[in-house]
């Protein structure tokens, strides 16, 4: 049996998700059901920039480059479209155009 990961949303009225470990988060958060806005889904536009906590793998090279520009090196900030689950996480989504603290 495959291990399950819980994705919780902080400050957002959205039910937690139970997904298989290794799942691509953006494949489960669609236009119809997502509390997180998505644009390109390739890690370059920054539309899905969120704060994450929990068991989060480090960003890949292209995501790290985008975050260097958009998040100014702040830790805990990731592009939701690039997250592949390893364990339980908590997402704090940001409205469009909101600055990352």
CATH number of domain containing 80: 3.10.20.30
pTM (2 d.p.): 0.82
Q: Which domain holds residue 46?
A: 4-93
Assess if residue 101 is contained within a domain.
no
Tell me 24's DSSP state. B
Q: Does 99 reside within a domain? A: no
Q: Into how many domains does the chain fold?
A: 1
The answer to whether the CB of 88 falls within 8 A of the CB of 19 is no
**Domain assignment of residue 66, yes or no:** yes
- pLDDT tens per residue across span 50-91: 999 998 888 999 999 999 999 876 888 999 999 989 999 999
Residue 100 lies in a domain: no
How far is 94 from 37, CA to CA, in rounded Å? 9
42 within some domain: yes
Residue 66 in contact with residue 100, Cβ under 8 Å? no
Tokens of 52: 């994450």
Mind listing the pLDDT tens digit for each residue in 10-58? 887 888 999 999 898 888 887 667 888 888 888 888 888 999 999 888 8
> pLDDT-derived band of residue 8, with 50, 70 and 90 as boundaries?
very high
Q: Is residue 88 part of a domain?
A: yes
């Amino acid at each position: 049996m495959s291990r399950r990961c819980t994705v919780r949303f902080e400050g957002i009225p959205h039910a937690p998700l139970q997904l298989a470990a290794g799942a691509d988060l953006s494949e489960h958060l669609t236009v119809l059901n997502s509390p997180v806005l998505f644009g390109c889904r390739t890690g370059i536009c920054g539309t899905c920039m969120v704060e994450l906590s929990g068991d989060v793998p480090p960003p890949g090279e292209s995501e790290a480059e985008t975050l260097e520009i958009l998040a100014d090196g702040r830790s805990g900030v990731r592009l939701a479209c690039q997250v592949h689950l390893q364990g339980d996480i908590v997402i704090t989504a940001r409205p469009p155009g909101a600055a990352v603290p």
